[in-house]
Structure 1
């Protein structure tokens, strides 16, 4: 799966993860709600995080026995860079 096949919400998750240092799911949820105004329940958040992990864009680790953290994988970072380059090319003529 390419980054272009992800949902907008999944891409937003990746940008939030990129901006935080090993965030927990709760920290990601709080950032989405604070900065983007996106109310997110666990039933939406964690399946989407699981998809990003399964697709290799995000890696999951353990902070403790009950709490996971998330970081972008090398593939995830590269995908975001490529997406940004594509967006920049597409918008270069927009004023």
Structure 2
């Protein structure tokens, strides 16, 4: 988790909060948080990197839509991050 950007970490948190969300749902959620538009050129490369790191899985919902879900490794990484943050509260 230490090698993720803040955006990737936020993206991982959002993926974990939904059941098999598609990219548009993730984008909308992040746009609400960041209060600005999240372009495809930013979203999808970061999703792909999280897939490559084994933190999320990518599945095909239909020909044009992919779904994303957090992996067990991704859950462990989020739990470790939460524990780390808690020691400073």
TM bracket, shorter-chain basis: over 0.9
- Structure number with greater Rg is 1
TM-score (norm 2): 0.95
1:38 Cα deviation after fit: 4.1
Q: Which runs of 5+ in 1 are unaligned?
A: none
TM-score (norm 1): 0.89
Give the Cα–Cα distance (whole angstroms) in 2 for the partners of residues 6 and 26 of structure 1. Answer: 21
In 2 relative to 1, CA 36–20 (structure 1 residues): closer, same or farther, beyond 3 Å? farther
Give the aligned CA root-mean-square deviation in angstroms.
1.0
Describe the SS at the equivalent of 1:59: strand
Q: Which runs of 5+ in 2 are unaligned?
A: none
In 2 relative to 1, CA 64–24 (structure 1 residues): closer, same or farther, beyond 3 Å? same
Structure 1 runs, 4 residues or longer, greater than 6 Å off: none
